[in-house]
Amino acid sequence: MSTDPNIRITEVALRDGLQGHASFIPTEQKLNLLKLLSKAGLNSIEATSFVSPKTIPQLADAEELIARSRELPDVRLSALAPNVRGVERAIASGVHEVAVVLAATDTMNRKNLGMSLDQAIAASEEVIARAASRKLSTRAYIAVAFECPFEGLVPSDVVVSLAARMLDAGATELVIADTIGAASPAQVQEVCRILTRSIPSDLIGLHLHDTRGMGVANAWAGISAGIRRFDASAGGLGGCPFAPGAAGNLATEDLVLMAESCGYPTGVDLPALYDAVAFASQITGRTLGGRSMSWAKARRTASVAESS
C-alpha cells in the first residue's frame, strides 16, 4: 500500500465532461476553461479525444485545442485515441500522453466501439504500442470495471486479467473506471486491494461517477486501499450515456475538499477551481458544481450576513 499522501488528479471536464454536450463549445472558450483549470493547480488535463468528428462533433477541434494549449506551463496534456488513426493524429498534435478505453465486457465494447472484447484488446494494444514507439505515456482505461449496464456485475478476475494485458502492452497507468456510477465503497476497496496484490498501487488510478451519490465515498475507499491517482471533472460535468439519470462524474472540487480535509494534499486551489466551475457553467448553460461548491456558497452567504 502506498505511504505517499499526495493525491494526483487528472482533470477530465474538457473531454469526458464536454463530449456529450449538445451544442458546440467554441475552441476559445474550451481554451479559457483549460487555462482556469491550470491556474487552479490542475496540471494533468485530459483535453480532448481524437475520434471522428462525425461521431463526436464536440471534439472536432482536437488538433486546434491541443496546438493552442501546448504552451501552457507545467500542464501535461492527455487525449483519448480509440484507434490507430486517432493515435497518429494525437502524436502529430503534440500531446504528452495518450489514453485508450477498453471495456471489461464484450457487449459494452460492441456498443461503445463496435468491436468484440478480443478486437478491442487488440486495438488498445496497437494504440499503446504506437504511442510507446514515440515515447509517449499511455493511460489504459478499464471501463465498466465494476458493473456493466448490459451484462451486470463484472468479476474482479476479469478486471485483473485485462489490467495485466494493458500493462504487458506497455501502458504506463491503469485507470479503473466505474463508468455508470454503480460501484459501492466496499466494491471499490475490494477491487483495488486485489489489483494491488500484483500491480504497484502508483500505476493505478480510479475514474469515478456520482450516479448514486457515492463518488466521494468511493474515492475515500480507493485512498484507503492505497490509490493516489484519480480522474475528476470540474463541477461534475459529464456522465455516461448508458446510465439513465446519471448525475455526472465525480466533481473535482468534492474530491479536493475531501482529500485535503483528510490530510491528503492535492496541490489544487479550491477558490480558483470554483472560478473554473463557474466559467464551465456559463459556457455550457448548465448549473454545475458539486456539494463542495454549494457548501462554499452557503458559507460565503452566511459570512456576509454576519458582517452586515
> What is the CATH code of the structural domain delimited by 8-307?
3.20.20.70
177: left (phi over 0), alpha (psi -120 to 50) or beta: beta
Instruction: Please name which of 189, 210, 217, 209 lies closest in space to residue 201, comparing C-alpha atoms.
Output: 189
- State pTM to two decimals: 0.93
Whether residue 240 lies in the annotated active site: yes
Kindly report the average pLDDT of the chain as a whole number. Answer: 92
**Residues in contact with 64: Cβ distance below 8 Å, sequence separation at least 6, in sequence order:** 27
> So what's the pLDDT on residue 303?
53
Helices within 5-96 (DSSP H only): 27-39, 62-69, 84-93
Q: Give the strand pairing for 8-11 and 229-232.
A: parallel
Amino acid code (one letter) for 70: R
Q: Tell which wins on pLDDT, 10 or 1.
A: 10
Catalytic residue among 148, 192, 240, 262: 240
Domain ranges of the chain: 8-307
Tens of pLDDT, residue by residue over 85-144, are 999 999 999 999 999 999 999 999 999 889 999 999 999 999 999 999 999 999 999 999
Residue 218 contacts residue 206 (beta carbons within 8 Å): yes
Tens of pLDDT, residue by residue over 37-87, are 999 999 999 999 999 999 899 999 999 999 999 888 889 999 999 999 999
The grid coordinates of residue 290 equal 458539486
